[in-house]
Amino acid sequence: MDVEKINRLYRQWLEYAVEDESVVRELKTLAANPGALEDAFYRDLSFGTGGLRGIIGAGTNRMNIYTVARASQGLAEYVKKHSSEEKPKIAVSFDSRKKSALFARIASGVFAANGIDVRIFPELMPTPCVSFAVRELGCAAGIMVTASHNPSNYNGYKVYGADGCQITEEAADEIAGEIEKVDFFGGIRRMDFFEGISSDRISFIRDELVAAFLSQVKKQSMMTEEDILDKNAAIIYSPLNGTGLKPVLRVLKESGYANVTVVREQEQPDGNFPTCPYPNPEIREAMELCLRDAAKHNADLLLATDPDCDRVGIGVKNTMGEYVLLSGNETGFLLLDYICSQRIRHGKMPGEPVMVKTIVTSDMAERIAEHYGVKCINVLTGFKYIGEQIGILEAEGKADSYIFGFEESYGYLSGSYVRDKDAVGGVFLICEMFACYQAEGISLYEKLEELYRTYGYCKNTLHSDTFEGAAGFVRMQEIMERFRRSSMGFGSRKTVRCLDYMEGIDGLPKSDVLKFILEDHCSVVIRPSGTEPKIKAYISVSAENAETAGRIGEEIAGALEREMADETCSGGI
């Protein structure tokens, strides 16, 4: 590490970073902690297709008003170069996280000072609303201040293009280049947020747009007026102290679902996430209060959305009356089968139907799609690539061909009204699917078991290791390189084929992802997270039953964990 450079940056921040008292206080403590000082300044917080994401705090490698303002100046320069509008617009929203509203105001002031009109939601709003607003309002770009499902000490800054998709690799590289040109304390044009409001450079987005978004959500219904639905189900819902409360309850109420109980402790926005330190519906701990209230009220269905309301997790009763949480893959299987079957039933299946999934999402989705004559497109991890495919279909005059897209990390989208995953729409369709099968006397658990009997049992698990700080960043790179050299197999399952997406496979952009295709229809996908200091591994096992799949999965996971922990191994796994 360049100690001299780190110390120089530190002295600069001590002198000029005086606007935010919390940053001032933290800077004073760093002198006594060389490790923390290094981690705060050893690099600039990286900007990529997901924008910015990092720990809230002082330094160039942290989320604070200075890194947000600098990123906004870079984005403003990019927009001015590429927009044909005399007065381009940017849509802005934010979630319930610490400093989200502040960061949104800072960004808005930078855009306004650069001659860009800002359309900002007056209160916290889900991520898909930004994607919707960009296209509906004819904006050149959009930002969402959120760290999605990360712990409470994180925040982030997602960027959307004029098409409503998260930005492409090419755009991200160009914006990052513009950001690098900007001096933290001398190169940023800023305007006070309230001055921007009074001068009409910044204006609030009206409720009519939110109503239009919810109208599009409801248009994704697979039902007709003649269809019978049982909407009396007892539903437990948690927004996990995030943005989902108002839009989710509103769309359910307007759709006739009246028996909805909200988890009290997780109802109101709270960036501390006091009862769910890791507010991710993928994690069982985040769902514990939902499970508690489901048992208390004898609920039929339980739902939770993450803080920016683009992911949704669900729980249902099994045949023994016990509550079980479904994985993102399982919910995706159910929705895909439901959408396909209902479209065929009502004569609404397009001539060339397409569904899109990520490469880490279970291959069982391909078998379901094939059964219904639906083309399956595989894309890199990240819903932006699913949104990109919708845009490609639209450009080819085949916008109606897209029927569904999902990723194993609890993200779903059934229409093209937005270009990102949408948990408001996910909740709506899950409830409709539940009500449809309920009217037929079928539970979601029973329907899932039916799918497994039809297409074969498939178990998918996610494993991850965390590598904090500068040393952790280097360690992650070393581990990925070792896996590239070690591809013999995992446990007793030998590798049939290794796909290295860094080489650019199937026309996809180059990405640091490895997929090991193993014997007996098993696979392991390994990649560094794009939003957290983690390496993630996705294990997929096909077997005749759950017990066998579990045993095989544990064996593969054990071999994977041993390799992750081995700092010297250079041979096979």
Active-site residues: which are they?
148
Question: Which of 23, 36, 30 is closest to 68 using CA atoms?
Answer: 23
Cα 25 to chain centroid distance, Å, stands at 32
Measure the CA–CA gap between 252 and 250, rounded to whole angstroms: 5
For residues 500 and 322, the answer to whether their CB atoms sit within 8 Å is no
Judged on CB neighbours under 10 Å (0-12, 13-18, 19+), 319 is exposed
Q: At 14, list the tokens.
A: 């001590």
Long-range contacts of 201-205 (CB under 8 A, 24+ apart): 201/112, 201/117, 201/118, 202/108, 202/109, 202/112, 202/117, 202/118, 202/120, 203/117, 203/118, 203/119, 203/120, 204/119, 204/120, 204/121, 204/122, 205/91, 205/119, 205/120, 205/121, 205/122, 205/133, 205/137
Beta bridge partners of 304: 238, 313
For residues 248 and 240, the answer to whether their CB atoms sit within 8 Å is no
Cα–Cα–Cα angle for 188, 21, 4, rounded to 5 degrees:
65
Question: Which of 488, 482, 462 is closest to 360 using CA atoms?
Answer: 462
For residues 178 and 77, the answer to whether their CB atoms sit within 8 Å is yes
Amino acid at 288: E
Helix (H, G, I), strand (E, B) or coil at 379: strand
Residues 6+ apart with CB under 8 A from 459: 540, 541, 543, 546, 549, 550, 553
